[in-house]
Amino acid sequence: MRDTILVTGGAGYIGSHVVRQLGEAGEQVVVLDNLSTGFADAVLHGTLVQGDVGDSKLVTKLLREHAVGAVMHFAAHTIVPESVENPLKYYGNNTCKTRNLLQACQVAGVPHFVFSS
């Protein structure tokens, strides 16, 4: 049975609030965050795994070991002035890494995916 929810970027502002609500609702949660803008102390429920959503081996391992049934993806870069100054950074993270995450979910048979940016 796939009942764990993987929350990427779950140590950030929006992600940590979602994780809190999921935890308070009794959901099993695994958080994947590289802590580049998030804080470990913000993750009040579930298991925090420090790593990058672009690490395909880690993502595949988490999807399988935790029987993930849904992914909530909040690991996008969102600072507009920085995106203009460094568009390749944003393309790499927000497009390429998200595509790789979607592909890993498809291979692992994860039926639900929510993307928020």
Structural domains of the chain, with CATH:
4-115 (3.40.50.720)
- pLDDT tens column, 54-96: 999 999 999 999 999 999 999 988 888 888 998 888 887 888 9
E strands present in the chain: 4-8, 28-33, 47-50, 68-73, 112-115
Percent of the chain exceeding pLDDT 90 equals: 79
> Can you give the pLDDT at residue 67?
97
Model pLDDT, residue 27: 98
Mean pLDDT of 38-66: 97
Per DSSP, helices labelled H in 1-97 are: 13-24, 56-65, 80-85, 87-90
Higher pLDDT, 24 or 86: 24
